[in-house]
Structure 1
């Protein structure tokens, strides 16, 4: 049986052993949490606890094997993918059409302050050179 969103629908009718084989393949595939397969699994509330149980069984059987660390990482990623909450898509709201009316040009405010005088730059003063004498 293939791993895909359409195959997840059939997982509801699988026996525990068959589901375990499918979940083992799914965990080994290391799919990201937003993948379509995980989304299809999260849509079935009765399938999520069964898969959690299978993941616990896989973690228990991985104990003591040479690939225990790797399998534990994959299983924890699968559990995180089950827990991931994806917000529902937001429906686009049509904005009302607003007729543009030509706006009258606003009167310009008369500035009562005097403009600040531009700072006059003073020429750099020459720094006198210093002579240092060596102590005798």
Structure 2
């Protein structure tokens, strides 16, 4: 049996061993949480607890195997994908057409004050050069 959103519909009728085989394939496929298969699984409230039980069984059987760490990570990712809530798609609201109005340039402001003399501003002080000697 293939893994796909349409195949998930038939998982409700599978025996525990057949469902375990399908969930094992699903876990090892490492599909992202927003994949169509996970969305199809989350739509069936009766299937979610069955898959949680299978995931617990897979976690128990992975204990002591040489691939235990890898399988535990995959199972944890599958649990997160199972619990992820996907928000419904948001329809974009149409924005009203905005008429472009030509922007009037402001009149330039003329500064009638006298410029400040340069003498009042203090020049920057030079930073003395520091020399470091190597200890002898």
TM-score by length of 2: 0.72
Unaligned runs of 5+ in 2: 120-136
Structure 1, residues 69-121: CA drift from partner, whole Å, max 9, x if none?
Answer: 22111111111111222222110111123445667x4763755663755958x
The change in CA–CA distance for 1:113 and 1:27 in structure 2 (over 3 A counts) is farther
Q: Residue 79 of structure 2 corresponds to which residue in structure 1?
A: 79
Q: Where do residues 116-127 of structure 1 align in structure 2 (5 Å cutoff)? A: 116=115
Indicate yes or no: 2:45 matched with 1:45.
yes
Distance in structure 2 (CA, Å) of the matches to 1:116 and 1:42: 74
SS of match in other structure, 1:12: helix
Look up the match of 2:107: 108
How far apart are 1:65 and its partner, in Å?
2.0
Distance 1:33 1:109, change over 3 A: same
Query: 1:57-72 alignment to 2 at 5 Å?
Result: 57-72=57-72
Whole-angstrom CA distance in 2 between matches of 1:114 and 1:45: 78
Please say which structure displays the higher CA radius of gyration: 1
TM-score, normalised on structure 1? Answer: 0.72
Segment of structure 1 superposing worse, 2-11 or 89-98: 89-98
Alpha carbon RMSD of aligned pairs, Å? 2.9
How far is the alpha carbon of 1:15 from its aligned partner?
Answer: 1.6
Over 3 Å counting, the alpha-carbon distance change for 1:116 and 1:91 in structure 2 is farther
Counterparts of 1:52 and 1:25, CA distance in 2: 15
What are the Cα deviations for residues 36-73 of structure 1, in whole angstroms up to 9, with x where unaligned? Answer: 21121122222111110110011111122222222111
